[in-house]
Chains A and B, each alone.
Chain A
Amino acid sequence: TQLLEQSPQFLSIQEGENLTVYCNSSSVFSSLQWYRQEPGEGPVLLVTVVTGGEVKKLKRLTFQFGDARKDSSLHITAAQPGDTGLYLCKGGSEKLVFGKGTKLTVNP
């Protein structure tokens, strides 16, 4: 089983701060996705990264795929309350397994 470890498990910050959350595995993935889930709703796909070392930006969110395609990070600049949610990573196509997620709370 390819396990995905996400850290930190919980993160509570003030509006305007920067943060980084991580998704790590001992296995190599052909691709990796990040999803955000808001309370009471289903997860929504944010991005897919495919190439080792790839960096993708989505407004204030920056996603990076590790060179060895075993890990990924999500950096949020100037966090806003609307960024609050559970951030989940999923290893591409090899397995239908998600990490346990990072629960982010951005306080106004």
Chain B
Amino acid sequence: NAGVMQNPRHLVRRRGQEARLRCSPMKGHSHVYWYRQLPEEGLKFMVYLQKENIIDESGMPKERFSAEFPKEGPSILRIQQVVRGDSAAYFCASSPSSVLANTGELFFGEGSRLTVL
């Protein structure tokens, strides 16, 4: 499967624990985007990364959330000390080049659903 791969698909955490969500972009894609989606709502942009660089993190909460896209391996969205309000579906998308320089098409994974008890 050459598509965007996200894991885990489902993650349950208790309040105060850490959640790590992983995203492997499509082959040949070096740009990764993370979005959060609450039930019955649209996609809220969180962060845009290129290999080893954060390009735009304007949608990322200032505390407890961080993201990285190392030279080797998947992109990781990390949520520390999770709270119930963090329960959501987190989607990763990738593109072959910067969407800010072309028509902006994104290819999405199937999402990771975080439930905080």
Contacts and interface: CB of A to CB of B under 8 A. Distances in A.
B31 to A, nearest CB: 11
A90 B104 contact: yes
B42 A96 contact: no
Contacts of A98: 35, 42-43, 45
Contacts of A31: 103-104
Interface string A65-108: 00000000000000000000010101111101111110100000
A103 B4 CA distance: 24
B99 interface: yes
A11 interface: no
Interface size class of A (residues with CB under 8 A): 20 to 34
Interface string B30-45: 0001010000111101
B109 to A, nearest CB: 5
A81 to B, nearest CB: 20
Contacts, number: 66
Give the interface SS of chain A, mostly helix, strand, loop or mixed. loop
Contacts of B43: 43, 88, 98
Nearest to B48: A96
Contacts of B2: none
A64 interface: no
Interface of B: 4, 33, 35, 40-43, 45, 48, 56, 59, 91, 93, 99-111
Given A31-B103, A44-B108, A88-B43, 15 more contacts: A31-B104, A33-B104, A41-B110, A41-B111, A42-B4, A42-B91, A42-B111, A43-B91, A48-B104, A90-B106, A91-B104, A94-B100, A98-B43, A101-B41, A101-B42
